[in-house]
Structure 1
Amino acid sequence: MTGRLPLDEQLAALKSVLSRNEVLLEVLNRTAALGLPGWYLKAGCLFQTVWNVVTDRHPTSGIKDYDVFYFDNHDLSWEAEDVVIKAADEAFAGLPAEVEIRNEARVHLWYEQKFGVPCTPYTSTEAAIDSFAATTRCLGVRFELDGQWRVYAPHGLADVFNLVVRPNPVLAPREVYETKTARWRQQWPELTVLGWPSESTVLAPSSS
């Protein structure tokens, strides 16, 4: 199993698997051309591509969108972020997928209103990725100027390859985790979803 390989081999396997998703590669290439500070293609489209390949589905199956984070704390206005969003809309035109781009330096300005809990201002894109509701989601990838892959995976890659979803109760409320995992299990019933820390329940893969 890939999840039991040494980390360097897991990284090589991740690049190989993600490269089978042509839409994902195109998003990486087009985002790199935008020259955004501290950017990553993050989370869902990455681990869901892995889940698809591991379970013999098409690499793009069930992927709703492709999310890009960047970090620019020099101008926290919505107008500045909107300029980047509009430029990205042009850059991603023609792709058979929705691409959403957001400045993580601004998250604390709207997070509490949306999710009901306050968010301390992030200091980097990596800090934002650290706060995702599941450790399995704490994953970001980008292409550097020299074309090399940069992978940020603070919790490693074993769970991603082993189809394990593990809670990360540092910011997002339990409801966010449970809503997301319920949706994922509908698309990928092979998943093992670990319960929120207040629970001892572990949801094993369904028999369907």
Structure 2
Amino acid sequence: MKEQKDLEAVILANEQMMQVLGIIADLGLADSWLCAGTIRNFIWNKGVFDAETDIDLIFYDKTVSYEETLEIERQLRQVFPNYQWEVKNQVYMHHHNPNTQPYSSSKDAMSKYPERCTAIGVRLLVDGRLDIFCPYGLEDIFQYQVRPTPHFQTDPARKALYREWMAKKNWLSKWPNLTIIFPE
């Protein structure tokens, strides 16, 4: 719990992170979160916002079409061009992971991301506090450890995708102190 409070304090103190969280909150999208690499990289960069990192905005809304989701992303890129927006409605994203049932929420989707250190989301609450979701805790992120989520450990096709994903990433060049663990 201390790690979560420490993370909350660092995010609350960072003007750019708070601006992004405010933009996301103002959109009013259902079950919306700033997540994944945006948060992970912020932690790995010692609380420094990296303008090259995608702004991973997810939400879950069955009434918003895939095309409407692309339009939300286009509008964000136009209005806030200083950020690299990636907007994904999690209703449609289970197709990217082999043998994965449709997600029931953004939290369900995050818990099934490939890496435990990427399974994290943050959102701004109405009272100015942060809601942090990290189903596997923060230990992996703070210890610079990359390992698959349980979802990616239980299926041969997902294990292969995880290995392929890790081979494509160049994380060790940016964070040489990472430990990358592959599924058995």
The TM-score range, normalised by the shorter chain, is 0.7 to 0.9
Which of the residues 1, 4, 12 maps onto 1:11? 4
Structure 1 position 170, deviation (Å): 1.5
Count of residues in correspondence between the two structures: 178
Structure 2 unmatched runs, 5+: none
Matched AA of 1:44: G
RMSD: 2.4
The C-alpha deviation readout for 1:106-132, integer Å capped at 9, x for no partner, is 224x52xxx6x2431111000110111
Q: Which runs of 4+ in 1 moved over 6 A?
A: none
Residues 21/84 of structure 1: CA separation in 2 closer, same or farther (3 Å cut): same
Structure 1 position 60, deviation (Å): 3.0
- Listed as ranges, the matches of 1:182-201 within 5 Å are 182-196=169-183, 198=184
- Listed as ranges, the matches of 1:94-105 within 5 Å are 94-95=81-82, 97-105=83-91
Q: Which residue of 1 aligns with 2:61?
A: 72
Structure 1 position 176, deviation (Å): 4.0
Q: Which residue of 1 aligns with 2:74?
A: 86
Matched AA of 2:53: K
Structure 1 unmatched runs, 5+: 1-6, 199-208
Q: d(CA) in 1 for partners of 2:92 and 2:40?
A: 25
Q: d(CA) in 2 for partners of 1:18 and 1:62?
A: 15
- Listed as ranges, the matches of 1:160-179 within 5 Å are 160-171=141-152, 173-178=158-163, 179=165
Whether contact under 8 Å (2:70, 2:87) holds in the other structure is no
Residues 21/90 of structure 1: CA separation in 2 closer, same or farther (3 Å cut): same
Which of the residues 79, 103, 106 maps onto 2:92? 106
- Listed as ranges, the matches of 1:102-181 within 5 Å are 102-108=88-94, 110-111=95-96, 117-171=98-152, 173-178=158-163, 179-180=165-166
Structure 1 position 80, deviation (Å): 2.8
Residues 174/62 of structure 1: CA separation in 2 closer, same or farther (3 Å cut): farther
Q: Secondary structure at 1:99's aligned position in 2?
A: strand
Structure 1 position 169, deviation (Å): 4.8
Provide the TM-score with structure 2 as the length reference. 0.84
Structure 1 position 59, deviation (Å): 1.2
Q: d(CA) in 2 for partners of 1:176 and 1:188?
A: 22
Matched AA of 1:107: M
Overall identity of the aligned pairs, in %: 27
Matched AA of 1:13: D
Whether contact under 8 Å (2:58, 2:106) holds in the other structure is yes
Q: d(CA) in 1 for partners of 2:172 and 2:159?
A: 16
Q: Secondary structure at 1:170's aligned position in 2?
A: helix
Matched AA of 1:79: E
The C-alpha deviation readout for 1:54-83, integer Å capped at 9, x for no partner, is xxxx713485311000010124x3333234
